Amino acid sequence: MKYKVDEKGFYGNFGGAYIPEMLYPNIDELKRNYLKIINSENFRKDFEKLLSEYVGRPTPLYFAERLSKKYNTKIYLKREDLCHTGAHKINNTIGQILLAKNLNKKRIIAETGAGQHGVATATVCALMGIDCVIYMGEVDIKRQAPNVARMKMLGAQVRDAKSGSKTLKDATNEAMRDWINNPVDTHYIIGSVVGPHPYPDMVTRLQAVISKEVKTQLLEKEGRDYPDYLIACVGGGSNAAGLYYHYLNNEKVKIIAVEAAGKGINSGESAATIKLGKIGIMHGSKTLLMQNDDGQIIEPYSISAGLDYPGIGPLHSHLYETERAKFVSVNDSEAMDWGLALSQIEGIIPAIETAHAFSILDTMAFKKDDILVFNCSGRGDKDLETYIKYFKL
């Protein structure tokens, strides 16, 4: 298993747990327990029950007929947008809230960018009756107002991260600082496959339900359990990791990851970590990072708050370095156009994050009988205001 995390938490050259001593006991507790818990029969039972009855899984694998015709290939959409709360994020939060209960934690903290992970966290906290504090950058609070309101309705406290660029990376810093200040009773639900080991592996395993379902569903529809291409957008990389997981060792499956280029790779306003990044250490993980020559983290930019992160999960850095995955980057305008296109071709209004993934249809050539699976990671409700402004709707 070339793509599995090793004992020290590394995927090849990336990963690890570069954490201040203050976080060591919490991370160590997780590291010692996460596999035992998530592989236990009790956990599996509760997890599967909630995924099916509360989240609405399995999500459909939908054959997009009009889109397929237009691009003369076979396109399937894995409908994570139909999950309760509107994105794949809840697969992870359901898993982690069960884990937190198992570890006897009384309080949950989380960071959020687009607010999807914040909503998914606030939701499971309401479900379990656990206190919830969400950190969100001041800038994101403004551009994702509906999600802020949702979190509040769900009973979570939303705290604004005022440091740095006031977006996702700063919200993550604030959440980690909160955890340092509350080391005993609090569990930190990270929202993507980032952060110190064991988070990247833990979140990947919880999101892996996506590819597990795709296997069964494809077998039913196509008579084989693997596609030719898997395509997902990458912020930190959790929806992508979930889609890829069960196919990482199947070399017949080509993997494509789509990053946000913002206003263009060389515009100075971008979030294309793979294209612009160098290896470094942030949020406890050694991975590719957008940074200047002095090692200061560069503030990223993307029109989608969920892709606005200057790093990428260590698994993805490894998939890039080993050339297991092909990474492409897509500008704001291409992504926005695809938000509109998917709405009008398939009647599905996607999250702007999700819309990025579809842009590869314009730049890559596929054969008529190629099977493509796109991860439709989330729905566009939260982005309506951005769409309205952009298209003057």
Does the footprint of ligand PLP cover residue 156 (CB under 6 A)?
Answer: no
Closest approach of ligand PLP to the CB of residue 224, in Å = 26
Does the footprint of ligand PLP cover residue 204 (CB under 6 A)?
Answer: no
What residues have CB less than 8 Å from 61, skipping those under 6 apart? 76, 77, 78, 79, 213, 214, 217, 218, 221, 373
Closest approach of ligand PLP to the CB of residue 263, in Å = 19
Closest approach of ligand PLP to the CB of residue 315, in Å = 11
**Binding string, residues 266-305; x marks residues near ligand PLP by CB under 6 A:** ----------------------------------------
Strand-pair category, 14-15 with 10-11: antiparallel
Does the footprint of ligand PLP cover residue 189 (CB under 6 A)?
Answer: no
Q: Is 219 helix (H, G, I), strand (E, B) or coil?
A: helix
Which string of DSSP letters, residue by residue, matches 300-362? Answer: P--SSGGG--SB--HHHHHHHHTTSEEEEEEEHHHHHHHHHHHHHHHS--B-HHHHHHHTHHH
Catalytic: 353? no
Catalytic: 152? no
From 272, 351, 372, 373, residue interacting with ligand PLP (rule: CB under 6 A): 351
d(CA 115, CA 235): 13
Integer-rounded Cα Rg, in Å, for the chain is: 19
Closest approach of other proteins to the CB of residue 158, in Å = 19
d(CA 56, CA 49): 10
Instruction: Give 46 or 60: the residue with its C-beta nearer to ligand PLP.
Output: 60
Instruction: Give 67 or 351: the residue with its C-beta nearer to ligand PLP.
Output: 351
Q: Where are the alpha helices (DSSP H) in the chain?
A: 24-38, 41-50, 65-71, 89-102, 116-128, 138-143, 145-153, 168-181, 199-207, 209-222, 238-244, 273-276, 314-321, 332-346, 352-358, 360-363, 384-391
Q: Which of residues 132-171 bind other proteins (CB under 8 A)?
A: 163-164, 169
The listed partner (ligand PLP, other proteins, none) that binds 7, CB under 5 to 8 Å by sort, is: none
Catalytic: 49? no
Question: Of the listed 238, 285, 329, 377, which one is catalytic?
Answer: 377
Q: Which residues pair with 111 in a beta bridge?
A: 135
For the record, the structure tokens of 363 come out as 């730049």
Whether 304 contacts 294, CB under 8 Å: no
Does the footprint of other proteins cover residue 363 (CB under 8 A)?
Answer: no
d(CA 155, CA 175): 18
Instruction: Give 21 or 251: the residue with its C-beta nearer to other proteins.
Output: 21
From 293, 368, 369, 393, residue interacting with other proteins (rule: CB under 8 A): 293
Does the footprint of ligand PLP cover residue 353 (CB under 6 A)?
Answer: yes
Tell me the one-letter amino acid at 260. A
Does the footprint of ligand PLP cover residue 15 (CB under 6 A)?
Answer: no
d(CA 75, CA 379): 18
d(CA 175, CA 230): 32
Does the footprint of other proteins cover residue 282 (CB under 8 A)?
Answer: yes
Sheet of 186-188: strands edge to edge? Answer: 157-161, 131-137, 107-112, 186-188
Question: Of the listed 31, 89, 169, 382, which one is catalytic?
Answer: 89
Question: DSSP character for 25?
Answer: H
The listed partner (other proteins, ligand PLP, none) that binds 82, CB under 5 to 8 Å by sort, is: none
Closest approach of ligand PLP to the CB of residue 117, in Å = 6
Does the footprint of ligand PLP cover residue 87 (CB under 6 A)?
Answer: yes
Closest approach of ligand PLP to the CB of residue 340, in Å = 17
Catalytic residue IDs: 89, 111, 377
Interface contacts to ligand PLP, rule CB under 6 A: 87, 113-114, 116-117, 192, 233-240, 306-307, 351, 353-354, 377-378
Interface contacts to other proteins, rule CB under 8 A: 16-22, 24-25, 163-164, 169, 173, 176-177, 180-184, 278, 280-284, 289, 291, 293-297
